[in-house]
Structure 1
Amino acid sequence: MIQTKNLAFSYSGKVNFNFPDISLESGQVLLITGGSGKGKTTLLHLLGGLLKAQSGSIRIGDTNIESLSDKNLDKFRGKNIGLILQQPHFVEAFSVLENVVLSSWLATGQKAEEKATSLLTELGLADQMTKLTSRLSIGQQQRVSIARALINEPQLLLADEPTSSLDDENAFNVADLLSKLSKEYGAALIIVTHDQRLKDRFSNQITLL
């Protein structure tokens, strides 16, 4: 589902990163760890098409995203890559349900309200759908982010530090939910984190040195 080869990136020629190759199938989970400054977030941004690699290739399904124009990459990302950030960003004036539906409309031009309702219910947010996201707890906001990332049934889920701001119970709940839902939706899941609590949760790991 995702395969990378010989990925390299540099910031102004001063900070250089050479990343290990990745090969991950649908429903599989990869945990990427490493200390500060080792390139974890840079790698995630490369995989999500938010940065262009200096060299190497990233293939998601049958598509080499490095060969896409910016316009086509935006379209591809919206339909095929779900991104979960450490600090969720929502449209503050929209309800929980409206924020999730917005993601489907931006990617496909269709408002998948029924699917959004089903996802939020599965994530335990059935009674929160009409609320503003600012009225939710951090753990609930993270689950809204998961619903938003899954609404278009992406091939790849990327989670950037999804548990670092959560207490133990919510951290493990979110990790288990991500793993369960990636299998259910047939998405490859890559979690980038320095959260040591997750190391015992996933056997498939890469540490950036």
Structure 2
Amino acid sequence: MDQYKTKFVVVYLIAAIITAACLLMNGPMRPGLPLDNTVIMRMEFIAKNLVLWQWSWIAWMFSALGLLVFSVILADELKADFRKHVGLLLVALGVAPDLIAEVIYAFVLPKVVHLAMGESVFLLFEHIATHLTGYLGNGLYNLGGLTLTCLAIKQGIFKTWVSVWGITAWILGLLLSVSIAAGQLKAAEIFTASSMTLSTLWMIIFAHQVLRPRWNTQS
């Protein structure tokens, strides 16, 4: 299969995984998140829906790895430049705290509930996980994505509207990190929804605007 066709298919697969993870977060797994509920309610939900809870977070783990793969595909279209490596490094660094947070959510929190370690221990691990993924991991992802996108714009890879779309998505993602740091979970929910929607759609746009034309050229 042509390399650009392969990349095109991979980007669609990544977008599908991220979309599925977002739908799970906004739907079935929402009662286990610190939104419109109490810690007791969250603990009870996790205990009663353990399989759903854990597999939902596994979907987010694949999403984290998918974002890294997408960043590699994006960087592969850029000319040699040290900023390309900086952008990729930032995204790669974001994977570690994100995966650690998702492991805490998926496996540590259920263990805390199962062993009846108490609300304070649950809240502590939940707080750590929230900041690892929402502040540190997400912040690094978006700084890296913004760096790669700005470099792509400088090299003339994107049309103007594609550039604006991408920059907007990454900035909204950074605002999510700011919201988490400030403890504004309602604002974080809004920025999560908006940034994830725009960035996932932007991946598809990238596939059609950059990869598909090159695939057609080589076919």
Q: What is the TM-score of this pair, normalised by structure 1?
A: 0.28
Q: Select the structure with the greater relative contact order (CA < 8 A; seq sep ≥ 6).
A: 1
Which protein shows a greater Rg? 2
Structure having the higher strand fraction is 1
Q: What is the TM-score of this pair, normalised by structure 2?
A: 0.28
